[in-house]
Amino acid sequence: MKKIRIGHIGIAHDHSAPVLQCVLRYPEIFEFIGYAEENPANFAKKIITDPFYNDLPRKTVAELIAEKPDAMLIEGYELDNLDAAMRCIENGIHVHIDKPAGADLAKFKRLLDLAREKGLAVHMGYMYRYNHAVRYTLDRIKDGTLGEIFQVDAFMDTWHDPEKREWMREFPGGDMFFLGCHMVDFVYMMMGGAPKHIYPFNHRSHIDGTDVVDQGYAVLDYGKAVSTVRAGSTQINGFGRRQLVVCGTKGTIEIKPLEIKTPGTDMLKSKLWISTHEMVNGDHYNNVCREVEIEPMIGRYDEMMLEFAEIVRGEKQPLYDYDYEYEVQKLVLECCAE
């Protein structure tokens, strides 16, 4: 099997190093040609926290593109990634772009249109799409176990120090843009499209004297159904209570926590409970549910990147097409309003 020659542009994204480390674990699939980071400030800061870049070949973006790789990882600062991705698409290179897809929806549309015209992949880095508990939930939606879905509540909380919260200042909607995008993706995916109305409630906590949008909340009105998205940077044990609740006319699924690392390994697990009419059997005033044993994941990004390889080789169609990615990004930005 011909290896996929792949480069890496930008190291400023939080997932830059882990995604690249994941790719490097599969030398039988990927041939890594080097990385580029042309912003001196980004390089100086990141090289300290992720010193493994020191052992990798550093090149300019032009040099990477000139080597005509099959694919490129776009892992720079969130508001810069579309420009780097466009350079790749213009040169016939498939791209994996870490999410969200920037703050300029029209620019993202131009990127998608050109990629569609050239038959190139625009693979977005929404790693939770590959989470086994999320996949289980989607299967229960598709096979009718949960009935008609009328409510999705998705929470993506964590704790960030003041410096990290200040770093989010340039993002539209702050934390809703940075973390909430994952949860907006869930709602769009599981409710089967965009809502009729969106009511964003994004606020500044001013905790620790910061003045950034670090409390994200949005209500998505589907007419007969209402769903919610929350993303915050000030919660103690926020990571441990990241959760997804999906309610249907025949059953409910709750995932909490969304992921947790197995001690001493890179394996990730999720906790999932399901309740159905048959299980409840009229006992609606007790916690009648069954925990489903979810197969651990090898790593957070592995299945995502292995799928990208299949798409680049033409062996698989993307799970999420150009139109889907555009609509999700549109919804993300609408949820980011203050």
Q: In terms of domains, do 171 and 267 share one? A: yes
Q: In terms of domains, do 306 and 273 share one? A: no
Q: Which pLDDT does position 18 carry in this prediction?
A: 94
> Does some domain include residue 330?
no
Residue 211 backbone phi and psi in degrees, to 5: -130, 60
Q: Is pLDDT above 80 for 48?
A: no
Cβ atoms of 212 and 231 closer than 8 Å: no
Distance CA 310, CA 4 (A): 10
Distance CA 170, CA 36 (A): 23
Domain count for the chain, please give it.
2
Q: Which pLDDT does position 289 carry in this prediction?
A: 95
What CATH number does residue 203 fall under?
3.30.360.10
> Does some domain include residue 338?
no
Sign of CA dihedral 73, 186, 160, 238: negative
> Does some domain include residue 332?
no
> Does some domain include residue 229?
yes
> What distances in angstroms separate CA 331 from CA 168, 176, 238, 266, 327, one per listed residue?
19, 11, 24, 32, 6
Q: In terms of domains, do 244 and 315 share one? A: no
Distance CA 66, CA 274 (A): 51
Supply 41's token pair.
Answer: 């400030």
214 CB neighbour count, 10 Å cutoff: 27
Distance CA 303, CA 325 (A): 19
Q: Which pLDDT does position 133 carry in this prediction?
A: 98
Does 111 or 267 have the greater pLDDT score? 111
Cβ atoms of 37 and 108 closer than 8 Å: no
Which domain, by its residues, includes 168?
132-292
Sign of CA dihedral 225, 229, 235, 239: positive
Residue 305 makes CB contacts below 8 A (sequence gap 6+) with 19, 22, 23, 26, 96
> Does some domain include residue 186?
yes
Q: In terms of domains, do 43 and 123 share one? A: yes
Distance CA 133, CA 155 (A): 15
pLDDT band at 8 (very low <50, low <70, confident <90, very high): very high
Average pLDDT of the residues in 40-64: 88
pLDDT band at 237 (very low <50, low <70, confident <90, very high): very high
Q: In terms of domains, do 166 and 271 share one? A: yes
Supply 322's token pair.
Answer: 């150009």
What CATH number does residue 78 fall under?
3.40.50.720
Q: In terms of domains, do 10 and 96 share one? A: yes
Indicate the pairing of strand 149-157 with strand 243-248: antiparallel
Q: In terms of domains, do 136 and 221 share one? A: yes
Distance CA 49, CA 33 (A): 22
Q: In terms of domains, do 309 and 181 share one? A: no
Does 321 or 261 have the greater pLDDT score? 321
End-to-end CA separation in angstroms for the chain: 50
> Does some domain include residue 18?
yes
Task: Give the tens place of pLDDT for each residue, 245-277.
Answer: 999 999 999 999 999 887 777 789 999 999 999
Average pLDDT of the residues in 156-169: 95
Q: In terms of domains, do 96 and 201 share one? A: no
Q: In terms of domains, do 100 and 136 share one? A: no
Q: Which pLDDT does position 52 carry in this prediction?
A: 86
pTM (2 d.p.): 0.95
Q: In terms of domains, do 136 and 107 share one? A: no
Q: In terms of domains, do 26 and 166 share one? A: no
Place of tokens 């912003």: 39
> Does some domain include residue 335?
no
Q: How many CA atoms lie within 13 A of 266 on its CB side?
A: 9
Average pLDDT of the residues in 16-39: 96
Q: What is the DSSP letter of 159?
A: B
> Does some domain include residue 334?
no
On average, the pLDDT of the chain sits at 95
pLDDT band at 75 (very low <50, low <70, confident <90, very high): very high
